[in-house]
């Protein structure tokens, strides 16, 4: 009878030994709730807890940490989109700071900016006017060749005349493209200086007064 009692005690110790070791070793217990709200626990994360929020407890029942459920694909997409937007906004802000610093370093005053604008616009406008004069000269040359071509209404004109007309037509078309580009350049320059002037006023008006 005594032997049987000792055997039962030994078996109980063997069964309880993992819990004793866990408690002494500071191992964790992992718990989550199933669909009906009932707790599911284990010394390793139960498979029923996969993909769910769970708690990590000490053997004494103290909560060591809360682990949130993994994000859904939609939540991941929203988070990534928000992160991209944040980085884009930071990049824009950094670029604007650099532009502002360059603007303030380039011009000592608003008058300085206006003077530079006037010089640049005058130079760009001069390029436009020169291009227009070039086109006027080409147009006059084409009219002269066209008049010469009229003398040969009833017969074939000389090949040289036909070639000259084709050449002048192609040159006029090319120079018209150049003129349009120079006019766009002038407009872009005007808009840029208008924006620089507006921003310069904002920066200098908001700057703290210097004693």
What residues have CB less than 8 Å from 100, skipping those under 6 apart?
A: 199, 203
* Domain count within the chain: 3
Same domain? For 136 and 172 the reply is: yes
Query: Are 56 and 30 in contact, with CB atoms under 8 Å apart?
Result: yes
Assigned domain for 209 exists:
no
Query: Considering the domain boundaries, does residue 185 fall inside one?
Result: yes
Same domain, 78 and 113: no
Kindly state whether residues 65 and 142 are assigned to the same domain: no
If asked whether residues 116 and 190 sit together in one domain, one would say yes
Which two structure tokens, joined as six digits, stand for 127?
A: 């390029």
pLDDT digits (tens, 9 = 90+) for 72-120: 888 889 999 999 999 999 999 999 999 999 999 999 999 999 999 999 9
- Residue 51 belongs to a domain: yes
Per-residue confidence at 71, pLDDT binned at 50, 70, 90? Answer: confident
Do 125 and 59 fall within a single domain?
no
CA-based radius of gyration for the chain: 42
- Residue 187, domain member (yes or no): yes
For residues 125 and 178, state if they share a domain: yes
* 14 domain-assigned: no
Mean pLDDT over residues 19-28, rounded? Answer: 58
Host domain of residue 65:
26-70
Mean pLDDT of 29-57: 87
Round to whole Å and give the CA distance between 114 and 185: 18
């Amino acid at each position: 009878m005594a032997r049987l009692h000792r055997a039962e005690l030994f078996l109980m110790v063997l069964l309880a030994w993992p819990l004793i070791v866990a408690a002494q070793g500071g191992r964790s217990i992992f718990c989550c709730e199933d669909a009906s709200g009932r707790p599911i626990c284990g010394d390793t994360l139960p498979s029923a807890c996969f993909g769910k929020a769970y708690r990590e407890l000490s053997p004494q029942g103290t909560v060591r940490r809360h682990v949130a459920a993994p994000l859904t694909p939609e939540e991941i997409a929203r988070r990534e989109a928000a992160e991209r937007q944040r980085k884009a906004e930071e990049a824009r802000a950094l670029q604007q700071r650099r532009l502002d610093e360059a603007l303030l370093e380039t011009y000592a005053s608003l008058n300085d900016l206006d003077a530079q604008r006037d010089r640049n616009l005058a130079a760009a406008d001069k390029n436009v006017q020169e291009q227009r004069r070039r086109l006027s000269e080409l147009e006059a040359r084409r009219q002269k060749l066209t008049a010469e071509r009229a003398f040969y209404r009833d017969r074939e004109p000389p090949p040289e005349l036909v070639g000259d007309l084709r050449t002048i037509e192609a040159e006029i078309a090319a120079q018209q493209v150049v003129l349009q580009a120079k006019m766009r350049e002038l407009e872009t320059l005007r808009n840029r200086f208008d924006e620089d002037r507006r921003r310069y006023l904002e920066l200098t008006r908001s700057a703290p007064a210097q004693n």
